Structure 1
């Protein structure tokens, strides 16, 4: 495997991540004009079995040029166990997106198999993997799956929560506020944080319900998610706002980093700053926030 480590991966804003059906040429073209941080071009759930080959060919034809303006391009393939998975993986690898999204990941081997397949074809280490966590087994094994990101050369960057599939697989009631889902969602966030990868909240199905969507975004942000997956362009602005960077917290982060950079604090593990004790781990967190803010500023300035 390649020798890259998770700590060297660039921080990317992922406030709003829009699903686009792989067979919808108009939607694919429109994606280039949207203000979302990333687009998932889907070959799995949104494409009927008899249309999957055509959708793959459509994506191969329309995505030869990157989205531009710093937006991430992600392709969700069908599982390797399906009749379409292997061809999807080859096509996605040839297009060199930012990431390939693997559906229904339940075990570290699901990541390792695709990781190895990409290495055997000399795929660049910049081609990352995202993992859908959308089944009971996937939730239970989320920690082990996230641990794969620590493997030298491991490509895993991000968990994507599949709340609709979790509801279907478990039979829990999809009530407002997600009372029966919240514990499982927190398990996904905890696993991601334990091993330094990011986690995206699931979709909100009623794109006409702006108030409900805003409330769920606020809940997802409070849970610790880095952003939200979306099913409609009309949800982008609210997601960007909810998962954006607070100016006051950014200023605080810059102050922490500057304080630890002073010569007198070079070897300090804890310092006093503005009347409170600040640990070096807070400086690490602050640097990550600043990196995201800088990446977002660079992306928006290029639009």
Structure 2
């Protein structure tokens, strides 16, 4: 459904996995449309979510990408929430046409060399990594930049400046505690929610893999792997749309790298962990099902099939 047809008062149905591999539905009550909320000509649909465990958890890390349908037509992905300690499950929905348009662009940003002084210390390494992994902020910072449709201008503009991408669960396993602490301090500032890996060494067990049999569906959990083997690291979110072998997810950036190649995996959700500060899905990654090829401000996108070539490290 085009954004121009989305109106306040509409009630949508959204899908995600709250536990295991079972798709669950919840309601999305459309409040209004925030123009320029993600930057110039980047809009968000504002909605109040209802159903499932959301009364306890609010919008949780791992829900990024949950598809929302109105009258059976896809309008976009649940992708933004109102910071920490929210009292209601208010979410920003990235319009599906913006997800498709952004991920169709093949230009790559120029790489910037990371400079580190010798001798290398944990502190200096962390400082360089924090600078390298900072995501471009895909949201408005000034209320005056936002045009509001469907609710009072001042109230809507203020909400727009409070919305931030839903934190992405970052699964880590096999690391020494000191390394976990260092990596957590780095990635927490880049929009991630570091969590301990489940399953066997951060990977799904045989029983969990069996639950993930069958074709990938809109609303299923999905992972992007950064490292696998003796140590595992990866992020999980939700599939928004499948078009042939193309997969769209998250509704916000991963690292905002542009064209990229990272393994795309199935994911298994153990449970939703409620938290007054920031609830999140406890999940683990499954088998590689394809390649993430685009990492843009409004979505990640990839293709189903074989994964990308990886670099062995010892």
> TM-score with structure 2 length normalisation?
0.24
Structure number with greater Rg is 1
Greater relative CO (CA pairs within 8 A, separation 6+): 2
Which of the two has greater strand per residue? 2
Which of the two has greater helix per residue? 1
